[in-house]
Structure 1
Amino acid sequence: MTWNPQSPAAATPPTAATGPRTHVRALIAAALFVPALVAAKILVLMTEKGGRCLMYGGCAPFPGVLFLVLCGAAAVALVLALAAPARLRGPALGAQLVLELCAVGLVAAFP
């Protein structure tokens, strides 16, 4: 290994290959977010408690503000994963996935 900045190994940074893959993964996660929410709601309504809640009411109110905050933060993380510098794309993708999973979990927790 040489320390010459003109060497071919120094010309390509190690994170250059992760850019397009991060974009594709962020877009796939965003595209699957709504179907995951629908699937979670259907699974919750298939339970006994969810069916009773649907038929007779009287369930705990859904925390809509928290859900909107999670969705908004996931959208910001998506924009960061698509437009941020290469060193921030991976953490932004991770944040996007965690926020989307939290939103799906929130939907699954309230019938």
Structure 2
Amino acid sequence: MTWSPQPPTAAAPPTAGTGRSRVPAVIAAALFVPALVAAKILVLMTEKGGRCLMYGGCAPFPGVVFLVLCGAAALAMVSALAAPARLRGPALGAQLVLELCAVGLVLAFP
């Protein structure tokens, strides 16, 4: 009886779509805070925003809604990074939509 070694089995190569949502998720998260700052500057450059800044009397900012949006966007980013490959795309989409809603909220309230 002779022993013939089996050829080493190579691991399956990663599919082409595995890294397609991780990098954009990190980039979107990194650009979220600068987008919020730019949105607030744009709001304060308007006549209503300047008047609100100088004299007060503006509608209160819905902080709880903003924090919920930011928290949901953070959870979507974690999902886009750690979820199985078939769920990463929808998680990235949810992250982008939630971040856009948060920036829109900042734009809506001076």
Per the normalisation by structure 1, the TM-score is 0.86
Give the structure 2 partner of residue 29 of structure 1: 28
**Residue 85 in structure 1 maps to residue 87 in structure 2:** no
5+ residue gaps, structure 1, are 1-10
**Residue 61 in structure 1 maps to residue 60 in structure 2:** yes
User: RMSD between aligned alpha carbons?
Assistant: 1.3
Structure 2 letter corresponding to 1:110: F
TM-superposed deviation, 1:68: 0.2
Q: Name which one, 1 or 2, has greater alpha-carbon Rg.
A: 2
Going by fraction, where is helix more abundant, 1 or 2?
Answer: 1
Give the structure 2 partner of residue 47 of structure 1: 46
* 1:36-83 deviation per Cα after TM superposition (whole angstroms, max 9, x unaligned): 000000000000000000000000000000000000000000000000
Tell me, what secondary structure is at the counterpart of 2:59? coil
Give the structure 1 partner of residue 72 of structure 2: 73
* 1:65-110 deviation per Cα after TM superposition (whole angstroms, max 9, x unaligned): 0000000000000000000000000000000000000000000000
Percent of counterpart pairs with the same letter? Answer: 86
Structure 2 letter corresponding to 1:83: A
Tell me, what secondary structure is at the counterpart of 2:57? coil
Give the structure 2 partner of residue 6 of structure 1: none
Give the structure 1 partner of residue 5 of structure 2: none
Structure 1 letter corresponding to 2:35: A
Structure 2 letter corresponding to 1:58: G
Alignment of 1:1-40 (within 5 A): 16-40=15-39
TM-superposed deviation, 1:12: 6.8
Structure 2 letter corresponding to 1:75: A
TM-superposed deviation, 1:19: 1.8
Measure, in 2, the Cα distance between the counterparts of 1:83 and 1:19.
11
5+ residue gaps, structure 2, are 1-11
Give the structure 1 partner of residue 7 of structure 2: none
**Deviation above 4 Å: which 4+ runs of structure 1?**
none
